[in-house]
Chains A and B, each alone.
Chain A
């Protein structure tokens, strides 16, 4: 059972999907809908959408997708620079006064 074996990786993915599926089925609002679970007043919906079944799963996936895409495509496009950006500057921490790379060189 090697971690870098493609077979192991496939099994891990399969396991992951099963866990995700089970979590969706165990959703408290879903169970309330099919009357398997009593309504819990402490977890009543406060903002409408959080009362929908599997809201948290969808919200988690969607916001992460938006955050990754947004940071990559918007912030990254505008603000990303090569990591030697500050190097050629007079305030460069990785070079000495004459522009030579310092021995601890990063």
Chain B
């Protein structure tokens, strides 16, 4: 049975049940559906394939692609954890939207062709917009509108790319990804019929459009300012759901379509640094975490660009761990917002006595995102930096005057230095900044006996995810077992815990911590925001309309008037019945509506006749 049912649909059915079940019972579905989906994912046969004929295409609705299992598993787990965190809240739209969102994300990971992938991709945009709007404030409504517009534009660009690609290659299938020899070698992508998959070389306009469409969803700078704009406006539990799926699904799609596309290395580095810079300057705690999503996704995008077996494993493992600790951080921040109603660092602080559980869970999330040894970040992110260090295996080279030289603008080693610097920066902007400004910073009130830890379902959701962060840091083997590539000789996949690695990582992080406290005065929060690319459509376009185009149109008004009134009048006077025949003329005025209707009927008649003529 499992072979004939796509796992993503389980959650989508769960979304419908959540939406229509009366009373409080609908919340039960939101806990059951993710677990049922998880079971279906694991029961889905390794070589199973669900094919559906639709129009002229054989759609592969579900199959295991190489990274599918890890991504689908964490999406289902995340839907469960998020639903547990949201259990005490009565936002039905948010819950069913989130289930739809998670189900569509799982659908994307199981898609075996570009059309199925795209349909689930768009379904995600719908589900996530519902989650943003469920924030139910004016700010959420407006940023949700910007959010959905950004995603619809992204979707249209991606669809255009897919259409061009399908037209030029004649195939809608995803490529197969196989290990290129050893684990550290570049992976090989094979298209239908054993041909080479050429999309990562970005030679066709179709592949470039697809890449832009995906990067919009991944949150790459200048295309991704919808992310810090919309995510922090959702409800406390809504942001937890939002943090998990869209960007990580983009990483998945980049992995299966664009592994080894070298420009992504630099896009990823840019994202990693951009996320840090904006997070350092930010005051709103959930916006800090939103920027740090971009920073973390930067590591994964970079890994996709490197495109070796180790980096593909690293991107997958890091996405898995990242979803857990980012959700944990946002649950911690969400609890603070839920209990205190405050969201700015300038208003927060001094909560360490009032919210001990929230604080410790937040600190564990912060340590995990910083990749401190014994947390999930350390056992996953290190794979990416290690893969980046092996420049001779991934960086493109050309031969110039008989000498082999790097074929890139920047020396490939720059990528490694940026990633290591970004690892230190993560500790600075999320690892210390978040717990420090939210829970510590100011002394707690004297005899602080406030009990501000959130209701038990929220606490349990946090404890569950905190435990996962540590479990994956101490014993990552179960995660390593579901990664895309295993060692050809069957040996251990990756050793994170070597003496040099542990000590170097601790040095890097603790000295970054020293920099934080030395520079604390510089980091004091102010009541400011930092302009991002969304300024273009929030300020520049409205201003252009108000100060340039509208005055221009107003100035042209006399000409317009002349065209729509003067010209017909003149025509009527000169040529029409009214002019020459005078009062006795049977001059009938036709409204625009009638004219359009007449035209439509004529066109329809043409269309119908055309069918018969061709047949």
Contact = CB atoms under 8 A, between A and B. Distances in A.
B403 interface: no
A23 B507 contact: yes
B527 A82 contact: yes
A27 B500 CA distance: 8
A33 interface: no
A27 B499 CA distance: 9
Interface in B334-360: 343-344, 352
Interface string A42-67: 11001100000010111111011101
A56 B504 contact: yes
B280 A68 contact: yes
Interface residues of A, number: 50
A40 B523 CA distance: 39
A106 B139 contact: yes
A98 to B, nearest CB: 13
A66 to B, nearest CB: 8
A24 to B, nearest CB: 7
A75 B500 contact: no
A54 to B, nearest CB: 7
A84 to B, nearest CB: 8
A81 B531 contact: yes
Contact of A85 (B278, B352, B428, B529): B529
A48 B440 CA distance: 40
A11 to B, nearest CB: 15
Given A61-B514, A83-B527, A47 B503 contact: no
Contact of A104 (B137, B352, B542): B137
A3 B503 CA distance: 28
Given A23-B507, A106-B343, A64 B538 contact: no
Contacts of B504: 27-28, 56
B424 A60 contact: yes
A99 interface: no
B313 interface: no
Contacts of B508: 56-57, 59-60
Interface in A76-91: 76, 79-83, 85-86, 89-91
B277 A71 contact: yes
Interface stretch (B76-84, B166-174, B176-184, B412-420): B412-420
23 contacts: A19-B510, A23-B503, A28-B503, A43-B498, A43-B500, A46-B390, A56-B504, A57-B510, A57-B511, A59-B508, A60-B511, A60-B512, A64-B424, A64-B519, A65-B519, A67-B428, A70-B277, A79-B530, A82-B527, A85-B529, A86-B529, A93-B141, A93-B142
